Amino acid sequence: MDTDADLETLVAQKDHVNVLRYLRVHQLRDPSLAVHHGQAALKQRSLSDVTRLAIYEQVALAALDLQDHTLADECLSKLREMGVEKESVRFRLLLGRCLEASGDTTGASQLYDTLLKENPANSVALKRKYCILKSQVGQEIATVAALNEYLQNNYSDPAAWSEMAKLRMEQGDFAKAIYAWEEVLLSAPTDPFVHVSIAECYTTVGGLDNLEQARKHFCQALELDASYRRAQFGLVVAANAYVEAASNASKKQLVDDFEVQVAKELVKFGAEQAIQAYKGTSMLASVQSLMQEYTEGVK
Amino acid sequence: MTTTLLLDPDIRDWVVLPLFVIMVAAGLLRHSVSVLLQGSPVKAQAISARSSSLLRQTMKLQTGAAHYMTTWRWQCRKEHAIQTLRQEADWAEAEQTKKSESGDATDNADDPMSAMMNNPMSMMKGNMVFMVQNMVMMQGIQHFFSGFILLKVPFPLTAGFKSMFQRGLGAELPDLEPSYVSSVSWYFLVMYGLRSFLQLVIGDPPLEVREQSSKTMQYGYLPPGRTGQDGAAVAQQLRQEAENLEVFVQPRKSEFDSVEKRVLGVQRYPKKSKLTGPDSHDSLFTNANTGNTKGKGGKKKSN
């Protein structure tokens, strides 16, 4: 970044170019701000060519967010006027986005296919193909296939893995979702949200072994962030489910008494943490009664 | 013997300062020339892009992230990773032979050899500018500024430096302290010292130019001047990593296994009794706090 200033300061100073840069660097999605400052910045004469081209691109994408297709078309034609070739990869990707926004998904897919034929390592084109399929109804299988193709070429992209995990969770395939979340875990092990997501998947599937894993992941989330309420509630639920599953277990399953004890302690611990978190709020009474149901079950 | 020489102030006015100014100007010129001579981005090798991303992900297994999943799951992942790496290595080699058989001439930068054939100057361009300028400057200095002592460096030098820094000062003056140096040494001193100064003066390119280079990578191209990797070379790397993983053993169990103990605290975590079953009430062999003991520690004494 050229300046380390905050966004509010930049807006107050009417530093249009740097506001746009801030939005780009921090990947903030604020289309009205981008359009407003972009149009103001383009009026300035003293912009270098590179900056001007980048601003046109940013304004075009923001206009698509605001459903302002005329502004997007204007930006595209201005880019061509400034000397950008039709065969430019960056221009064609922007064109593809405009096509997608206007509803011409077949045209956009064809464009991305052409780009991929030219350069199979074009990860942005693969991402857009997946996005097109995801926005369409009834294309679950094709969506998953497209995302798999992207992941095969970009195995180390944690954002793509979390996208896969969410997709699998939507489809109800929790085992594969857990696998995908664990790939995210390898990249970001200290993120409590990832642990909570894994634990929730395990809890949904159920079964003694899975619930044990769920307990552990909820505990890990609490170790990383003791005030994480979702983890606190989740711990109570998962540990309680473990105790119930243990008591309902068939004769064939080996039930470890020690683990059952641990689970009971975890229920009490989680309940205490939750009640502690809600102290002083109006919801305390309802939380207390809820936790009482769980803790009474394990006595 | 310490002799203090008095040097002509003209030396300072006409050699030291002009030489400094010339070198600053030459550095800026060199930077502009290297920017102009930059080549265009080259298509990235799809095979190596895919395989190296797999490699990056499997290497994360060896990092501290292993302590955020159970030992058993980590071992399963390790085995799976080894298998995947070997499969990917086979695929990379197969693709590479397929590619070289089909004779795809449009794909340059397939491997360092063909990249050099197609674009023989690409590797040399950046270095050549620097080398040419170096040679020219040194010749110029030796021609114009030789034969006199330039300055005395403020720190003492050992005698070994005499032959290096006092070249051209007539015959080797044995009495002269090594601290008195000639102009060539001033040139070298300034050259290395100016590198960081020039970085400050030239400054970072604007954000858009930096974004451009990162976008180039995203669109599947390599930045100019870089050559891609051969499918065979990348397959070699993958097999090597598979072997590394096979041998890799975690020194300790995963920390994740004991996370519940840490969260509950050692006080609250139930204690495992060594005995279960009919003997568990034996007070000699069990802990007092274990739930298995019957009656002890749990009853409140009522008076």
Condensed to tens digits (0 to 9), the pLDDT of residues A69-89 reads 999 999 999 999 998 888 889
Quick check: pTM over 0.80? Answer: no
Is pLDDT larger for residue B8 or for residue B235? B235
Mean pLDDT is lowest, of A47-56, B31-40, B131-140, B210-219, for B31-40
For A24, nearest residue in chain B (alpha carbons): B211
User: What is d(CA A113, CA B45) in angstroms, rounded to the nearest whole number?
Assistant: 18
Task: Band the pLDDT of B280: cuts 50, 70, 90.
Answer: low
Last residue of a domain, which of A57, A84, A111?
A: A84
Beta carbons of A156 and B270 less than 8 Å apart: no
Q: How many domains does chain A have?
A: 2
Task: Band the pLDDT of A2: cuts 50, 70, 90.
Answer: low
| ipTM attached to this prediction | 0.84
The answer to whether position A44 is within a domain reads: yes
In percent, how much of chain A has pLDDT > 70?
99
> Which residues on adjacent β-strands are paired with residue B152?
B180
Tell me the average pLDDT across B22-42: 80
* Token representation of residue B127: 């270095």
| Beta-carbon pairs below 8 A across chains A and B | 120
Helices H / strands E in chain A, number of each:
16, 0
Beta carbons of A258 and B270 less than 8 Å apart: yes
The type of residue at B69 is: M
User: What is d(CA B260, CA A239) in angstroms, rounded to the nearest whole number?
Assistant: 11
The answer to whether position A281 is within a domain reads: yes
Q: Check whether B286 has a pLDDT greater than 70.
A: no
The answer to whether position A172 is within a domain reads: no
CB distance A60 to A76 below 8 Å: yes
pLDDT of B139? 86
Q: Check whether B109 has a pLDDT greater than 80.
A: no
Nearest to A220 among B43, B60, B259 (CB): B259
User: What is d(CA A68, CA A36) in angstroms, rounded to the nearest whole number?
Assistant: 13
In percent, how much of chain B has pLDDT > 70?
78
- Tell me the chain A residues in contact with residue B291 when contact means C-beta distances shorter than 8 Å: 261
The answer to whether position A148 is within a domain reads: no
Tell me the average pLDDT across A137-165: 93
Segment B123-136, tens digit of pLDDT: 566 677 778 888 88
Helix (H) or strand (E) holding A201: helix A192-205
The answer to whether position A258 is within a domain reads: yes
Task: Band the pLDDT of B57: cuts 50, 70, 90.
Answer: very high
CB distance A151 to A142 below 8 Å: no
β pairing state of B180-181 and B221-222 = unpaired
Last residue of a domain, which of A69, A84, A99?
A: A84
Segment A238-263, tens digit of pLDDT: 999 999 998 888 777 778 888 888 89
Q: Check whether B64 has a pLDDT greater than 70.
A: yes
User: What is d(CA A107, CA B82) in angstroms, rounded to the nearest whole number?
Assistant: 41
pLDDT of A55? 93
pLDDT of B120? 56
Task: Band the pLDDT of B240: cuts 50, 70, 90.
Answer: very high
Beta carbons of B49 and A156 less than 8 Å apart: no
The answer to whether position A268 is within a domain reads: yes
Q: Mutate which of B54, B57, B98, B104 to test chain A, going by most A C-beta atoms within 10 A?
A: B57
Shortest Cα–Cα distance, B26 to chain A (Å): 26
> Which residues on adjacent β-strands are paired with residue B181?
B151
Half-sphere exposure of A211 (CA within 13 A, CB side): 22
Summary mean pLDDT of chain A: 91
pLDDT of A198? 96
pLDDT of B275? 55
Beta carbons of A189 and B65 less than 8 Å apart: yes
Which residue in the block uniquely carries the two structure tokens 């200290």? A190
The answer to whether position A30 is within a domain reads: yes
Mean pLDDT is lowest, of A13-27, A29-43, B99-113, for B99-113
* Helices marked H in B182-281: 183-202, 207-218, 231-247, 259-264
* Token representation of residue A26: 């921090």
Mean pLDDT is lowest, of A247-261, B59-73, B157-171, for B157-171
* Token representation of residue A259: 């683990």
| Three-state DSSP state, B43 | strand
Q: Check whether B106 has a pLDDT greater than 50.
A: no
Mean pLDDT is lowest, of A42-46, A128-132, A211-215, A226-230, for A42-46
Task: Band the pLDDT of A10: cuts 50, 70, 90.
Answer: confident
Is pLDDT larger for residue A54 or for residue A8? A54
- Tell me the chain B residues in contact with residue A93 when contact means C-beta distances shorter than 8 Å: 219
Tell me the average pLDDT across B160-183: 73
Nearest to B68 among A24, A119, A220 (CB): A220
Segment A212-225, tens digit of pLDDT: 999 999 999 999 99
Summary mean pLDDT of chain B: 77
**Please, what sign has the CA dihedral across residues A73, A76, A81, A85?**
negative
Task: Band the pLDDT of B303: cuts 50, 70, 90.
Answer: very low
Nearest to A120 among B46, B63, B212 (CB): B46
Chain centroid offset of residue B147 CA: 43
The answer to whether position A203 is within a domain reads: yes
- Tell me the chain B residues in contact with residue A1 when contact means C-beta distances shorter than 8 Å: 207
Torsion of CA A80, A86, A87, A92, to 10 degrees: 80
- Tell me the chain A residues in contact with residue B70 when contact means C-beta distances shorter than 8 Å: 213, 216
Beta carbons of A186 and B65 less than 8 Å apart: yes
pLDDT of B89? 93
Beta carbons of A121 and B44 less than 8 Å apart: yes
Gyration radius of chain A's alpha carbons? 25
Nearest to A54 among B68, B208, B257 (CB): B208
Tell me the average pLDDT across B65-89: 92
Question: Residue A57: which domain range?
Answer: 1-84
For A1, nearest residue in chain B (alpha carbons): B207
Beta carbons of B206 and A154 less than 8 Å apart: no
For B267, nearest residue in chain A (alpha carbons): A265
Q: Check whether B145 has a pLDDT greater than 50.
A: yes
Nearest to B263 among A90, A152, A223 (CB): A223
Shortest Cα–Cα distance, B127 to chain A (Å): 27
pLDDT of B111? 55
pLDDT of A251? 76
- Tell me the chain B residues in contact with residue A216 when contact means C-beta distances shorter than 8 Å: 70, 256-257, 259-260
Mean pLDDT is lowest, of A57-66, B106-115, B197-206, for B106-115
pLDDT of B115? 53
User: What is d(CA B144, CA B136) in angstroms, rounded to the nearest whole number?
Assistant: 12
User: What is d(CA A165, CA A178) in angstroms, rounded to the nearest whole number?
Assistant: 7
Is pLDDT larger for residue B74 or for residue B151? B74
pLDDT of A152? 92
Of the spans B50-54, B226-230, B282-286, which averages the highest pLDDT? B50-54
Beta carbons of B57 and A186 less than 8 Å apart: yes
Beta carbons of B219 and A185 less than 8 Å apart: no
Segment A89-117, tens digit of pLDDT: 999 999 999 999 999 999 999 999 999 99
Beta carbons of A187 and B60 less than 8 Å apart: yes
Beta carbons of B77 and A257 less than 8 Å apart: no
Last residue of a domain, which of A41, A67, A84?
A: A84
- DSSP per position, A38-103: HHHHHT-S---HHHHHHHHHHHHHHHHHTT-HHHHHHHHHHHHHTT--TT-HHHHHHHHHHHHHTT
Task: Band the pLDDT of A49: cuts 50, 70, 90.
Answer: confident
CB distance A177 to A210 below 8 Å: no
In percent, how much of chain B has pLDDT > 90?
16
> Which residues on adjacent β-strands are paired with residue B42?
B222
pLDDT of B221? 83
- Tell me the chain A residues in contact with residue B50 when contact means C-beta distances shorter than 8 Å: 121, 152-155
For B59, nearest residue in chain A (alpha carbons): A186
Beta carbons of A182 and B73 less than 8 Å apart: yes
Shortest Cα–Cα distance, A54 to chain B (Å): 7
pLDDT of B103? 64
Q: Check whether B297 has a pLDDT greater than 50.
A: no
Beta carbons of B67 and A195 less than 8 Å apart: no
- DSSP per position, A125-158: HHHHHHHHHHHSTT-HHHHHHHHHHHHHH-TT-H
Chain centroid offset of residue A68 CA: 26
Beta carbons of A154 and B53 less than 8 Å apart: yes
